[in-house]
Chain A
C-alpha cells in the first residue's frame, strides 16, 4: 500500500544573463555581460502546494507507479499528458478537471520542448488573451496570488508551428 505524500512543495528559480556581443577581426562573435546590467540576475523561492492534487494530470509526467486506480474520482478523465508530453496544435487548457476549474493556481511551470525557431508557445492567464511567449527550449515558472489566477484560466497555444510541452499545474 503506497504511503501518500503528507505535503508537497516546488522550489523554483530563475537565472538571467544579459549579454552584449562584439565581432572579432576574424568574424568570430564574442559575448560578455552587458555593461549597463553589469551582472547576472535571478531569484529563488518555494511554493507550498496541496498534498492532494486535483488529479494525476496535475503534471504531464508519468510516475512509475501511476495506474488508473490512482486517478481516484477522476479516473474517467482524459489525461492530457499520458506520454509525459503534450502536443500543442490549438488552444489547449492545462486543466482537465471541471471540479477544479475555479481552484487557484499555486504554481505553474511550462517547458516548451520545441527546438525549431517557429515553435514558440504562447500562454494565457485569463483564458482569452495570450500575453506570455515561451521560445523554443524555454520555460516559464510562476506562482499565482491565490485568488485571481485559476485553473480554468491557464491555456496554451502554438504561435506558428505545432510544438510539445511538459508542465506542472498545481493547486
Chain B
C-alpha cells in the first residue's frame, strides 16, 4: 500500500464595472480566464488529520506537503502560516485554505508554523 496526495489550486480573477443600473462582476479582462493547476504531491505519507481550536503556536516539522484550513464559518479570526521560517505570512480567513508542497526541492522538507489572531477553528493535514 502506498499513499499519494492529489491537489488543486484554482482562482477566478474578477473586475467590477459600474453600470447605471448597478454594479456587475466579470472575469477580469487583464487575465481573461480562470486558472487551475492539478498535480500529485511529492509526499508519499499522509499524517492523521488534526481538527481543533487554536490555542497556541503550532510547529510542524519535516513537512513535504501541508493543507491548512480555517474552519470558522464567520467572524474575523484568522490563521497565519510561516513556511520554512521565511517570515512572510500567509493569511487564512474563515473558510480559506492553503494547500501546497513545501521544501525547496522535489524531495526536501521544511517546517510550517501556524499562529493566529483570535481563536479560530482549524484543520490540517501534514504530508511527509
Which residues of A line the B interface, CB within 8 A?
Answer: 3, 5-22, 31, 34, 36-38, 41-45, 51, 53, 56, 58-59, 61-66, 107, 109, 111-112, 120, 122, 124-126, 129-150, 153, 159-160, 166, 168
Contacts and interface: CB of A to CB of B under 8 A. Distances in A.
A131 B103 contact: yes
Given A12-B9, A126-B86, A159 B105 contact: yes
A142 to B, nearest CB: 5
Contacts of A20: 1-4, 46
B83 A125 contact: yes
A67 B83 CA distance: 38
Q: Is the interface of B mostly helix, strand, loop or mixed?
A: strand
A168 B27 CA distance: 14
Contact of A153 (B40, B88, B98): B88
B12 interface: yes
A140 B87 contact: no
A17 B46 CA distance: 11
Contacts of B46: 18, 20, 34, 36-37
Contacts of A58: 30
A30 B62 CA distance: 28
B13 interface: yes
